[in-house]
Structure 1
Amino acid sequence: MRVKNASNQKGILRSKALWLHVPRLLLGLQFVVSGTDGFYFLATGENLIHPPATPDARALEEAMLASGFMWPLVKAVNLLGGMSLLLNFRPAFGLAIIMPAITVITLYHLTLNPAGVPAAIVMDLLAGVLAYAYRRNYAPMLA
């Protein structure tokens, strides 16, 4: 009887690991790629990847670039938060620092670039799963 409980417990732990680690790795990878692409653009003037954007969406990107500090700041935060998630080093902190970017990205796609709404929804779902998983880490901030 104990053997069944032990193997069942291991199965539960494995499934918990999957529902936590898969979103963490996917979201981390997305933000590491985004941050890397942003710095590559600063260095070369070309994007490694860049989804199609409407003229209004391009205008926002150009304004961030023209500010001289906003684009590097956003991309540095993306890279830091993504690496934190990807490497599983203080992932609750990594999620907390990219959560404002996730909000802006979602609103950007809802208002300026509707073609990216499906990707934004997936990103929001991944972030929601992680926020739920790390809810105990955030409790002191919300008390």
Structure 2
Amino acid sequence: MFRRLTVDVPRILLGLLFLFAAVDGFAWILTGHRLVHPPTSAAGLRFEDALKDSGFLWPLMKSIDLIAALLLLTNRAPALGLLLLLPIITVIVLFHLVLNPGGTPIAVALAVLTAMLVFAYRDRYQALLR
């Protein structure tokens, strides 16, 4: 029961969140329209537009979102999935704290879920820190 609350629930929530982010991102790539339009500050919109206008960062980021989400949801190499997402999660958290303060609750929830999984998979990351 404890493992379910501290590992499985955060793993599934992060997996679903990033699966939806990938689907929404690919919808924009294919159609030019997003599925969801969360309230974003003017500075946040400029940052998002810069990622999209780069031509490669947005598709790369959404591909990583999709691969990592599938790894988390299928529970096949979830530590690798989380490792792939860590740079993106860091940018998302900083984005909400600096450019889009209205999304701070989302940033905090994302940081807490990520921290729970990093702690749960800490033994798998030890070799990286030696």
Is the TM-score greater than 0.5? yes
Residue 90 of structure 1: aligned partner = 77
Secondary structure of the residue that 1:74 maps to in structure 2?
A: helix
What aligned pairs does 1:37-116 form with structure 2 within 5 A after superposition? 37-116=24-103
- Give, in angstroms, the shift of residue 49 of structure 1: 1.4
- Read off the aligned partner of 1:78 and give its amino acid letter: D
**Cα distance in 2 for residues equivalent to 1:49 and 1:71:** 16
**Where in structure 1 are there 5+ consecutive unaligned residues?**
1-13
Residue 119 of structure 2: aligned partner = 132
- CA RMSD across the alignment: 0.9
- Give, in angstroms, the shift of residue 57 of structure 1: 0.7
The percentage of counterpart residues that share the same residue type is 43
TM-score of the superposed pair, with normalisation by structure 2: 0.96
TM-score of the superposed pair, with normalisation by structure 1: 0.88
- Read off the aligned partner of 2:62 and give its amino acid letter: K
- Structure 1: which 4+ aligned runs deviate by more than 4 Å? none
- Give, in angstroms, the shift of residue 15 of structure 1: 2.2
Task: Give the aligned length.
Answer: 130
Equivalent in 100, 116, 121 of residue 108 of structure 2: 121
Deviations 1:54-95 (A, max 9, x none): 111111111111111010011111111111111111000000
Matched, 1:31 2:18: yes
**Where in structure 2 are there 5+ consecutive unaligned residues?**
none
The higher radius of gyration belongs to: 1
